[in-house]
Amino acid sequence: MKYQDIPLINNEALHNFELIIDGKRSFIDYKQKGDKIYLIHTEVPEELEGMGVAAAIVEKAFNYIESNHLKLVPLCVYVLAFLKRHPEWNRLLAVHD
């Protein structure tokens, strides 16, 4: 299944990036402080597991982060694993002082 046409929702009230697929909500919890965005936890409903949904929502979140000139602080285990598989996104990482 392709997810390019499904828009990422930035639910600021819940601090979630959301993707609605077949009526099911997948999300990434985040916190934002200044220009840094902390990705805390990724969750995909059991019915959608193994279908590339987590990768799609992470990539859409990274595109949002980049287009909004934010810096990424990955705390989520899945996001960290995604970065290992896709090191080209390391350009978004916040520099530690």
Residue 2 lies in a domain: no
Residue 37 lies in a domain: yes
pLDDT in tens, 49-65: 999 999 999 999 999 99
Residue 62 lies in a domain: yes
pTM for the predicted model, two decimal places = 0.94
Number of domains composing the chain = 1
pLDDT in tens, 13-37: 999 999 999 999 999 999 999 999 9
| Structural domain containing residue 13 | 9-92
Domain with residue 58: its CATH number is 3.40.630.30
Which residue matches tokens 């080209």?
88
Residue 1 lies in a domain: no
